[in-house]
Structure 1
Amino acid sequence: MGLYEKIVNKEEKISVIGLGYVGMPLAIAFAKYAQVIGFDVDKKKIEIYKSGIDPTKEIGNEAIKNTTVEFTSDETKLKEAKFHIVAVPTPINIDKTPDLTPVESASVIVGRNMARGSYVVYESTVYPGVTEDICIPILERESGLKCGVDFKVGYSPERINPGDKKHTLETIKKIVSAIDDESLDEIAKIYSLVIKAGVHKTSSIKVAEAAKVVENSQRDINIAFMNELAMVFDRMGIDTKEVIDAMNTKWNALGFYPGLVGGHCIGVDPYYFIYQAEKLGYHSQIILSGRKINDGMGEFIANTIIKKLIHVNKVVKKSKVVIFGITYKENCPDTRNSKVVDIIKGLNEYGIEPIVVDPQANREDTKQEYGIELMDIDDVKDADCLVFAVAHDEFKNMAWEQIEKFFKNIDNSEKVIIDVKGIFDKNKIEKLGYCYWRL
């Protein structure tokens, strides 16, 4: 009897290491078919899950309350599992090089608690070669076991899109890879328990690692192209959104729009590819250029805000600017690598301390990560400029009467609205006399 059958018969357990936006939905999904141990080193996070709260807002509190997942921060509980899924983050350092500390630490923990006959599957985004050249040696060292003989290893890149209720874990095809054909088939069968869209097997772990990095780099490059167009069209006095809407009437248009590119995937993964390419003697041109453009958009928007304030005769340092949204994307509480922060830093250089509101973001995390105190939306008043940086539904569905109350009691021609995501009707706002700008 293979591991798949033992898991289905609940004779063996699955463990998920790292219970964030990727690991937690995985653990919940597998728990419908198997016994699951959900492990995270963050004891506070474990207590939150045990209390039935979903801080990620990915699957909701009810799913957490009703799951059979055994949440724990006790690494020795991993000894009870035979199929381990590592889903820890892989950030970058200040110098834009990969920070493999989380995945290395997770490998140490799994290795010293791994039994003979185990499978370890990595979901963390890495550059090609990390699983085999870095992670497997750690597992062997810590366990005293031999990979391919005593345990098997695979790689299946996470593809979850936080905040997306349409493209969920179950509906996104899963890439799977392994060190040999036997373990590849076993891993594919186990993932098929929860992935209704099916699996795609690759011939090697390196191919799967590369696929993940490339799919995010491709999006990054396409958005960078639109951002570059937006900056040029701004100088030309042409509305970028109108251009893109016209272009998108053609069947083969790609549908990308300009914007801030942050978060833990698209804003990070290309640097993993760039790093490994440079180690091999190739200096990236297109990918690195795209990253530079996207990393500079916060500064560009901040400078545009200043120009618009000057245009309506405001004293820049005395202007009250309110920013709506601090998360890295809409309808998601995740503030990691938020590029809205770059707008704030840009305004700080001109002596402006903007007020920030975000009903989705976690106040404590925002304060701890960026030193920013979030304000309640109902307390916003006497503003000179409103910056809608993130397209949360709460902002898109806001009544115009409410938006008007955010401003000072001044003529509309002195009120500035910066619409980064193009969520409002440009013609309506301009007819009302506001100074309006969108990316």
Structure 2
Amino acid sequence: MTAALPDEDSIKVAVVGLGYVGLPLAVAFAEHFPTIGYDLSVLRVREITAGRDSTGQVEPDELRAAGLRVTNAAADLRQANTYIVSVPTPIDRYRQPDLGPLLAATETLGGLLSPGDLVIYESTVYPGATEEDCVPLLESLSGLVLNTDFFVGYSPERINPGDIEHPLKSIVKVTSGSCSKAAARVDALYSRVIDAGTFPAASIRVAEAAKIIENTQRDVNIALINELSIVFSHMGLDTHEILDAAATKWNFQRLSPGLVGGHCIGVDPYYLLHKSASKGYIPDIVRTSREINDGMAKNAVSRLIAAMINKGQVVRGARVLVLGVTFKENCRDIRNTKVTEMVAAMKGFGLEVEIHDPLADPAEVARDLGIKMLEEFPQEAGGYGAVVLAVPHREIVEGGAPQLVDLLSDGGVFFDMKAVFGRDESDIRL
């Protein structure tokens, strides 16, 4: 006999992983259902309990009003019957999928499952991971059988860290389930919290694949622009001036060259590459795009060195100020930031590099990236051989280009990597 899913009046939600994705999700569900948030980090649980979110995704007033209970005790999860897993799915140093956090969360739930429970995964994975890697672990540890004793769903996260214009509730949610009954419940559950609506996918694997190609498509498109930027730099042409002209055509998609890091675009294509390779096919466009984008940090430094030499600077020993260390502007997330690769390449040329970022947590940057930042914006006029605007946070650029140029010594180079300012206000742009 098949176990019954809990009726809507008895749903109790537990969100496993309270990072950039999990916390907004837990707060949203807490508005409709009794909800527990679980995270391994004692510090993370303490700050959320105190009404503070260091990721900046949830405002203090919203967090305090949510009525969300948070814990780092796995035993507390037994009170739930609907589990949502939103833990990181990174890559290892060999650029292979690292399912460690996902499988650890699955092991925790496997020891807690009861008949009728529903487990929904939000973490980005390759097609098949939920059913091939997670479900067998749940069955083995719980002694329960999928679609007989418990159920599984997949609804890929679509949070865009730092994007206040597209919060959780305004983004259409793709949903799926391990059977028709589970799929219907997952879709109904998210329909309660997502104002933009839901899209029921044909299967869990379809939903997993949809998430992967969302970010792979962006990676490929940005790689094209990055390669064009390299091509035009050899021709002495400014890429952004060319993009301005091309964008006057109605169907031209305007993207800008730059570093591609973060926990999505710079990671997800490797999951697709891994799964495709296991099936005997290497997707060349995806692989090459990753190579191009991964190489942009070193390419940017090569352009900087050339500009410094052309202006008569002695490179070795020159002081360089790098502004921004997070993976993108107006965001505190430092995961998989490519600024670190750029800094390492600069140091390889003998440059003395200093870094300032008004949003990144200095303690986190020191712990995770091994970088000691300047805690205050430099006030020393004429002190730097180069200023590199790597991540144009609002707090950095609001003072205008002159504030940054004033930091340069004679013959100094201002590298406006994202072309925030006009062509005549910087020495080089990507």
Question: Would you say same fold, with TM above 0.5?
Answer: yes
- Match status 1:424 vs 2:421: yes
Larger mean Cα displacement after TM superposition, 291-300 or 389-398 = 389-398
The amino acid that maps onto 2:428 is W
- Match status 1:266 vs 2:265: yes
Residue identity over aligned pairs, in percent, reads 40
Unaligned runs of 5+ in 2: none
Instruction: Give the match for residue 387 of structure 2.
Output: 386
Superposed CA offset, 1:93-121 (max 9, x none)? 11111000010000001111122111000
Instruction: Give the match for residue 54 of structure 1.
Output: 53
Instruction: Work out whether residues 4 and 189 of structure 1, in 8 Å CA contact, stay in contact via their aligned partners in 2.
Output: no
Instruction: Work out whether residues 78 and 114 of structure 1, in 8 Å CA contact, stay in contact via their aligned partners in 2.
Output: no
Q: CA deviation at 1:388?
A: 0.3
Instruction: Work out whether residues 54 and 61 of structure 1, in 8 Å CA contact, stay in contact via their aligned partners in 2.
Output: yes
Q: Please, what TM-score do these two structures have when normalized by structure 1? A: 0.94
Counterpart secondary structure, 2:352: coil
- Match status 1:5 vs 2:2: no
Larger mean Cα displacement after TM superposition, 50-59 or 121-130 = 50-59
Name the CA distance, whole Å, in 1 between partners of 2:122 and 2:419: 34
Instruction: Work out whether residues 20 and 56 of structure 1, in 8 Å CA contact, stay in contact via their aligned partners in 2.
Output: yes
Counterpart secondary structure, 1:368: helix
Superposed CA offset, 1:178-212 (max 9, x none)? 11111111111110111111111111111000011
Q: CA deviation at 1:4?
A: 5.4
Instruction: Give the match for residue 36 of structure 2.
Output: 37
Instruction: Work out whether residues 3 and 186 of structure 1, in 8 Å CA contact, stay in contact via their aligned partners in 2.
Output: no
Name the CA distance, whole Å, in 2 between partners of 1:182 and 1:254: 40
- Match status 1:397 vs 2:398: yes
Instruction: Work out whether residues 36 and 70 of structure 2, in 8 Å CA contact, stay in contact via their aligned partners in 1.
Output: yes
Instruction: Give the match for residue 300 of structure 2.
Output: 301
Instruction: Work out whether residues 5 and 117 of structure 2, in 8 Å CA contact, stay in contact via their aligned partners in 1.
Output: no
Counterpart secondary structure, 2:207: helix
Larger mean Cα displacement after TM superposition, 204-213 or 252-261 = 252-261
Instruction: Work out whether residues 4 and 190 of structure 1, in 8 Å CA contact, stay in contact via their aligned partners in 2.
Output: no
Name the CA distance, whole Å, in 1 between partners of 2:297 and 2:219: 15
- Match status 1:326 vs 2:325: yes
Q: CA deviation at 1:305?
A: 1.2
Instruction: Give the match for residue 101 of structure 2.
Output: 102
Instruction: Work out whether residues 405 and 414 of structure 2, in 8 Å CA contact, stay in contact via their aligned partners in 1.
Output: no
The amino acid that maps onto 1:416 is V
Name the CA distance, whole Å, in 2 between partners of 1:272 and 1:33: 34
Name the CA distance, whole Å, in 1 between partners of 2:253 and 2:233: 21
Larger mean Cα displacement after TM superposition, 373-382 or 124-133 = 373-382
Deviating 4+ runs (over 4 angstroms):
none
Instruction: Give the match for residue 428 of structure 2.
Output: 437
Name the CA distance, whole Å, in 2 between partners of 1:222 and 1:345: 26
Task: Give the CA RMSD over aligned residues.
Answer: 1.3
Superposed CA offset, 1:38-69 (max 9, x none)? 00111111111111111110122222222211
Instruction: Give the match for residue 84 of structure 1.
Output: 83
The amino acid that maps onto 2:392 is A
Name the CA distance, whole Å, in 2 between partners of 1:253 and 1:44: 46
Superposed CA offset, 1:211-237 (max 9, x none)? 111110000000000000000001111
User: How many residue pairs end up in the alignment?
Assistant: 425
Q: CA deviation at 1:401?
A: 4.6
Q: Please, what TM-score do these two structures have when normalized by structure 2? A: 0.96
Q: CA deviation at 1:307?
A: 1.0
Q: CA deviation at 1:406?
A: 2.0
Give matches, 1:174-323, under 5 Å. 174-323=173-322
Unaligned runs of 5+ in 1: 431-435
